[in-house]
Amino acid sequence: MLMVIFGAGASFDSVPSRPPATHPNLEHRLPLAAELFADRPLFTQSMRRFPDFTPLVPFLRNPPSNLSVEGLLQRFQAERADYPVRHQQLAAIRFYLHFVIWACEMEWKEQVAKGITNYVTLLDQVERWRGRGGGYKRVCLVTFNYDTLLEDALPFVSHQVTAIDDYISSDNYKVVKVHGSRNWARDVMTAIPDIEQKNTWQAAQELIARAQELVLADTYRIVTEWPIGKHGQLPSFPALAIPVEAKDDFVCPASHVTALKEAIPQVTKILVVGWRGVEAHAVELLKGLKQPSGISGVVVAGNYAAANDVAARLEAQGLNVTWRPSHAGFSEWTTNGESVRFLRG
């Protein structure tokens, strides 16, 4: 089995004609974690729609030198016990992330990508070599991203996703979004008075205000409402993870986690694109890689130094993988022949 792991860097460098190195300041480029709260017009406009976390924005835009954005969010999360306002602020951040990634992605697709992405090209290459000599017949695609660029590419390998169960329904391709998605919601079990009379925006603000007391269902659904706030007459909460350093949970259906756990021991080769490998709970699962002869792996990041850092980080975790860092970013790697050599080898 081939496993491909996508992180934020994959969507950041998702359009082959607009790589970050030569087009560094595109307004609607999907952000890395450090840029989720950047001073872009679209981001600032989106923040104003969820004003509860406004006091935190200066810190999120300029974290202390010893903290990343994820580390800072983790600190805010830890402060909920003695400062309950943090519950509302962090709920507002979830709504903001759902909203801004949706808005950013729509502009990126419409103005820049126009259907042409590295995800599409890579999946076409994967499909070409699947079962033909690359040493794998099945594929597990794991993404830490909230956007749906991967879902848009799946029809090119005859995989359609219109409902939550579709992600893992194919025998050939399993897709696991471990930290949720900008278009996923969980039903709210807590009663919200007069929900039927509230519009989506009013429902969202009510849920933020009552964040500390909310009880969420374990069920997930794909939604078209933007922003998420209610689905029909049911209150709905964005199903995505706050980007903190020590993520210790998956925000996806239990059946998807099970599919991932079942796939890992079968993996024979692994490709990492734009993922930094810092999520301890995910790395712990990868320790289940079991091929006795070892597994070949390639890391694709923005450049060789970044890829080498990720490879060293993963190697230090004791994974059963021989890592090779690429000199090329995602856009170059999918078109310069390296991807084909890896997939057909």
Q: What single-letter amino acid sits at 332?
A: E
* CA dist., res. 335 & res. 137, Å (int): 23
Same domain, 301 and 333: yes
pLDDT at 161: 97
Residue 196 and residue 167 share a domain: no
Q: In whole angstroms, give the CA distance from residue 238 to residue 276.
A: 24
Find out whether the peptide bond into 227 is cis, omega within 30 degrees of 0. yes
Place of tokens 């925006």: 201
Considering the domain architecture, whether residues 154 and 56 belong to the same structural domain is answered as: no
Q: Are 228 and 189 in contact (CB under 8 A)?
A: no
In this predicted structure, what is the pLDDT of residue 294?
86
Pair 148, 287 in one domain: yes
Question: Which pLDDT tens digits describe the chain residue by residue (345 residues)?
Answer: 999 999 999 999 999 999 999 999 999 999 999 999 999 999 999 999 999 999 999 999 999 998 999 999 999 999 999 999 999 999 999 999 999 999 999 999 999 999 999 999 999 999 999 988 778 999 999 999 999 999 999 999 999 999 999 999 999 999 999 999 999 999 999 999 999 999 999 999 999 999 999 999 999 999 998 999 998 889 999 999 999 877 667 999 999 999 999 999 999 999 999 999 988 889 999 999 988 888 999 999 999 999 999 999 999 999 989 999 999 999 999 999 999 999 998
223 neighbors 183 (Cβ within 8 angstroms): yes
Q: How many helices (H) and strands (E) does the chain have?
A: 13, 10
CA terminus-to-terminus distance, the chain: 13
Residue 69 CA to residue 62 CA, distance in Å, equals 8
Alpha-carbon gap, residue 230 to 236, rounded angstroms: 5
Q: Which two tokens stand for residue 17?
A: 């004609």
Q: What is the DSSP letter of 320?
A: S
Residue 164 contacts residue 221 (beta carbons within 8 Å): yes
pLDDT for 249? 79
Q: Residue 277: left (phi > 0), alpha (psi -120 to 50), or beta?
A: left
Q: Is residue 153 part of a domain?
A: yes
Q: What is the pLDDT of residue 281?
A: 87
**Cβ pair 288, 261 in contact under 8 A:** yes
Domain shared by 37 and 108, yes or no: yes
Do residues 48 and 98 both lie within one domain? yes
**Bridge partners (DSSP) listed for residue 230:** 235
Among 213, 240, 267, residue at a domain's last position = 240
Q: Are residues 97 and 41 in the same domain?
A: yes
Give the count of alpha carbons within 13 A of 321, CB side only: 31
301 and 312 together in one domain:
yes
- The reply to whether 28 falls in a domain is no
- Specify whether 38 is located in the same domain as 98: yes
Domain membership of residue 25 (yes or no) is: no
- Domain range for 192: 181-240
User: Last residue of some domain: 113, 137, 169?
Assistant: 113
φ and ψ at 268, to 5 degrees? -110, -20
Number of domains in the chain: 3
Q: Please name the amino acid found at residue 112.
A: V
CATH of the domain at 329: 3.40.50.1220
Q: What is the pLDDT of residues 172-231, one digit of tens each?
A: 999 999 999 999 999 999 999 999 999 999 999 999 999 999 999 999 999 998 999 998
φ and ψ at residue 282, rounded to 5 degrees = -75, -45
Query: What is the rounded distance in angstroms from the CA atom of residue 45 to the CA atom of residue 41?
Result: 6
Whether 134 and 11 share a structural domain: yes
- Same-domain pairing of 294 and 155: yes
- Asked whether residue 159 falls in the same domain as residue 206, the answer is no
CA distance 1 to 171: 11
Q: What is the C-alpha separation between 140 and 1, in angstroms, rounded?
A: 7
For residue 245, tell me if it sits in a domain. no
Q: Which SS3 state, helix, strand or coil, does residue 314 take?
A: helix
Domain boundary among 113, 128, 150: 113
Q: What is the pLDDT of residue 246?
A: 72
Cα separation, 152 vs 160, in Å, equals 9
Could you tell me whether strands 139-143 and 230-231 are parallel, antiparallel, or unpaired per DSSP bridges?
unpaired
